[in-house]
């Protein structure tokens, strides 16, 4: 089916929204130079060798109207990114005929991830461009393995754990200093710095690694942009340690709202502390970090991967929206990333969520923006939310959303500087 025919099936979704969400759920064949080398397992030795090096590339494209979308290679995608041989312009093509859909602007192609420190460490293994965001956000992966893998308990949507095999490392401050200096030098600014990694059943030990790396980051003497710790939900005392260490935000992601799906989709998180305790930890974190400074991500669409879990795709969308409303009610900022199927996860053989799911979910999420006034985190901006449409859709209806946080884009401090630096 070509894109026009698809758009005719979903008249309630703006064309750009439909295109972005379909690109995310389907991936794209990278037939044009795009993105930066990505170290899935965040060290060189652990990176799985593959026949097609495009599997290790990640980046973003800008669609008309300032819509930024994350792209990574999927050899079976109906979409392709191609270069016009006459003009050199980049186009998105699709359908059986591979007809041109729209011209696109490639996102940043950064040099620093392909360079090495004086010790020979790939800088892309120390810091990672975060989801191709155009304001230069970076992530640092500190626990380079996940204990959930040992017992086949990894999250079923997670491709990270199967793209290689790695081991725990200690931060090397000299390596980090060289790498982050290169990042600042090339990018001019950094939208945010996300700390992330695999999980441990001992969550206090997991938190220790975040403190270790935050301290190492400070020891580099370089500027530290807004920071977020994306970690398993911690008990009150450990959350307080993150706050004291200087983290601006924590993100304790529930991923899926429906309780009966937790053991099915997140067996490791279920055994580690379970949904009820996870929610208790989220609420305790708001006491410590303050309303809006605690985030919770949902993998929008993965609920549809379990046969029979919901009567319809729309019912699945309603479930996640219910979870997001619960977050708002408790001062927790709800986020989502569109479920991306390809890439080695346990669920990589499942079909992506039907578009009917997103036709219900996307307007529902925007309705929550209108309903609640929790501020948008400093880490979010329209150019960096490459895996969700929350900022893109909020701009559609200024009358409705003008007073809501999504229209304001509180992208202060360094993220604001990042806009000026790359605009």
Residue 164 Cβ vs ligand SF4, minimum distance, rounded to whole Å: 12
Segment near ligand SF4 (CB under 6 A); pick from 8-16, 54-62, 156-164, 233-241: 156-164
Helix orientation angle between 236-245 and 274-289, rounded to the nearest 10 degrees: 40
Should residue 199 be labelled a site residue for ligand SF4 when binding is judged by CB under 6 A?
A: yes
Segment near ligand SF4 (CB under 6 A); pick from 158-166, 292-300, 334-342, 387-395: 158-166
Should residue 327 be labelled a site residue for ligand SF4 when binding is judged by CB under 6 A?
A: no
Q: What whole-number distance in Å separates Cα of residue 15 and Cα of residue 92? A: 14
Residue 161 Cβ vs ligand SF4, minimum distance, rounded to whole Å: 5
Considering only residues 92, 161, 207, 353, which one is a binding residue for ligand SF4 as defined by CB under 6 A? 161
Should residue 148 be labelled a site residue for ligand SF4 when binding is judged by CB under 6 A?
A: yes
Segment near ligand SF4 (CB under 6 A); pick from 90-98, 154-162, 167-175, 356-364: 154-162
Residue 210 Cβ vs ligand SF4, minimum distance, rounded to whole Å: 14
Segment near ligand SF4 (CB under 6 A); pick from 111-119, 128-136, 148-156, 332-340: 148-156
Should residue 347 be labelled a site residue for ligand SF4 when binding is judged by CB under 6 A?
A: no
Q: What whole-number distance in Å separates Cα of residue 223 and Cα of residue 63? A: 32
Considering only residues 132, 198, 292, 377, which one is a binding residue for ligand SF4 as defined by CB under 6 A? 198
- Kindly tell me which of 160 and 357 has the beta carbon lying closer to ligand SF4: 160
Residue 290 Cβ vs ligand SF4, minimum distance, rounded to whole Å: 25
CB 376 within 8 A of CB 410: yes
Considering only residues 155, 300, 374, 394, which one is a binding residue for ligand SF4 as defined by CB under 6 A? 155
Contact positions toward ligand SF4, by CB under 6 A?
146, 148, 154-155, 158, 160-161, 198-199, 268
């Amino acid at each position: 089916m070509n894109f026009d025919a698809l758009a005719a099936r979903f008249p309630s979704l703006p064309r750009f929204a439909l295109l972005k969400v379909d690109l995310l759920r389907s991936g794209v064949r990278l037939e044009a130079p795009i993105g930066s080398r990505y170290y899935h397992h965040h060290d060189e030795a652990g990176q799985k060798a593959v026949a097609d090096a495009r599997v290790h590339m990640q980046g973003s494209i800008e669609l008309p109207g300032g819509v930024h979308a994350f792209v990574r290679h999927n050899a079976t995608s109906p979409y392709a990114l191609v270069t016009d041989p006459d003009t050199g312009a980049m186009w998105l093509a699709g359908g059986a005929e591979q007809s041109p859909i729209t011209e696109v602007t490639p996102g940043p192609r950064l040099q620093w991830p392909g360079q090495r420190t004086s010790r020979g460490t790939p800088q892309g293994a120390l810091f990672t461009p975060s989801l191709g965001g155009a304001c230069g956000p970076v992530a640092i992966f500190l626990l380079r393995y996940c204990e959930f893998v040992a017992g086949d308990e990894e999250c079923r949507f997670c491709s990270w754990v199967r793209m290689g095999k790695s081991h725990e490392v200690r931060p090397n401050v000299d390596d980090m200093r060289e790498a982050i200096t290169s990042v600042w030098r090339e990018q001019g600014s950094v939208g945010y710095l996300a700390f992330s990694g695999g999980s441990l059943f001992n969550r206090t030990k997991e938190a220790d690694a975040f403190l270790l790396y935050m301290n190492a980051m400070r020891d580099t003497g370089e500027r530290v942009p807004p920071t977020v710790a994306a970690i398993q939900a911690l008990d009150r005392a450990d959350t307080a340690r993150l706050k004291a260490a200087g983290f601006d935000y924590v993100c304790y992601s529930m991923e899926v709202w429906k309780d009966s799906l937790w053991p099915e989709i997140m067996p490791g998180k279920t055994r580690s502390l379970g949904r009820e305790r996870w929610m208790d930890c989220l609420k305790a974190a708001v006491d410590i970090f303050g309303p809006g400074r605690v985030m919770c991500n949902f993998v929008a669409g993965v609920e549809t991967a379990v046969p029979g879990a919901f009567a319809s795709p729309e019912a699945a969308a309603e479930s996640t929206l219910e979870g997001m409303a619960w977050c708002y009610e408790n001062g927790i900022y709800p986020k989502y990333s569109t479920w991306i199927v390809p890439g080695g996860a346990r669920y990589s053989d499942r079909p992506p969520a039907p578009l009917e799911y997103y036709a219900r979910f996307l307007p529902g999420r925007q309705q929550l923006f209108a309903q609640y006034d929790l501020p948008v985190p400093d880490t979010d901006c329209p150019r960096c939310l490459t895996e969700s449409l929350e900022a893109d859709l909020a701009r559609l209806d200024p009358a409705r959303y003008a007073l809501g946080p999504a229209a304001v884009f509180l992208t202060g401090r360094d993220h604001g500087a990042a806009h000026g630096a790359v605009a």
